[in-house]
Structure 1
């Protein structure tokens, strides 16, 4: 069970804060709800307490796990590559991973798309998924480490500097 003011992660939305827990009667049945405000866009969600685990609501990772995720991005040995796989199939697979809300799944999508982008131009949908994964990862790790989201993004960009650097780009453009 989560408590008021606790930071939580809602799949595909990111970090939110439990503003309150309230009881409401719906269809003659009384149920408790977490009222969660997503910090990036101020959207408020009502999550049934009884269904919170099923929808993937979870606590923000700890600092140690956040650092492990950043370290894991450096390891490219598990990179499968796109090997000609249909972009639509990849898009569906990556969308499902982002919807899972699991930090490992989101970091997998981020790493895969950055590495695929090294070999070929990403489709519009893949670029959107890449940005969504980047936002989800940087937001959660920033809260876990008590730092700014921009600092985490910069650290990730440094991990992939050999890939993200465009020929002829200035350092400030990366």
Structure 2
């Protein structure tokens, strides 16, 4: 059970704060809801308390896990390079990972898209996924390790400076 003012992560939306817990009757059935305000865009969500785990609502990761995510972003040993995989298949796979709510999955998408961008120009859809992944990862890491989101983005961009430079030189 989450508490009022607790920071939580809602899949594909990012970090939010539980503003209140309220009971409502919907269709003749009384249920308790977390009222969560997403911090990046001020959207308010009503998440049924009984269904919170099923929809992926979870606490913000701890600092130790946050630092591990940073390390995983910097590790390129598992990346085999752009294989020419069907863009639609890759887009669906990455979209599913972003919706999973798992920070490791979202960081994987971020890293893969950055590295694929070194070998080929990213499509509009891929760039959108990259931006979404960057926003989700940087926001959660900012709260996890108690830093500013912009400085987290700067650190991530610095990790991939060689990739960004290669993209800019090919334009």
- Between the aligned partners of 1:31 and 1:82, the Cα distance in structure 2 is 48
> Is the counterpart of residue 21 in structure 1 residue 11 in structure 2?
no
Gaps spanning 5+ residues in structure 1: where? 170-174
Query: Aligned residues, how many?
Result: 169
Equivalent residue, structure 1, for 2:71: 71
Q: What TM-score do you get using the length of structure 2 for normalisation?
A: 0.95
Equivalent residue, structure 1, for 2:47: 47
Deviations 1:68-126 (A, max 9, x none): 10011111111143311111110000000000010010000000000000000011000
Equivalent residue, structure 2, for 1:109: 109
Deviations 1:114-168 (A, max 9, x none): 0000000011000000000000000000011111101000111111111112488
- Between the aligned partners of 1:164 and 1:77, the Cα distance in structure 2 is 19
- Between the aligned partners of 2:15 and 2:37, the Cα distance in structure 1 is 9
Kindly tell me: are residues 96 and 168 of structure 1, through their superposed partners in 2, closer, same or farther at Cα, counting changes over 3 Å? Answer: closer
> Is the counterpart of residue 82 in structure 1 residue 62 in structure 2?
no
Kindly tell me: are residues 25 and 58 of structure 1, through their superposed partners in 2, closer, same or farther at Cα, counting changes over 3 Å? Answer: same
Deviations 1:34-81 (A, max 9, x none): 000000110000000011001000000111111110011111111143
Runs (4+) of structure 1 exceeding 6 A deviation are none
Kindly tell me: are residues 166 and 78 of structure 1, through their superposed partners in 2, closer, same or farther at Cα, counting changes over 3 Å? Answer: closer
Q: Is the 8 A contact 2:8 2:16 kept in 1?
A: yes
**SS in structure 2 of the partner of residue 122 of structure 1:** coil
- Between the aligned partners of 1:105 and 1:47, the Cα distance in structure 2 is 22
**SS in structure 2 of the partner of residue 158 of structure 1:** helix
Equivalent residue, structure 2, for 1:172: none
Equivalent residue, structure 2, for 1:138: 138
Equivalent residue, structure 1, for 2:97: 97
Kindly tell me: are residues 17 and 78 of structure 1, through their superposed partners in 2, closer, same or farther at Cα, counting changes over 3 Å? Answer: same
- Between the aligned partners of 1:131 and 1:103, the Cα distance in structure 2 is 15
- Between the aligned partners of 1:136 and 1:126, the Cα distance in structure 2 is 15
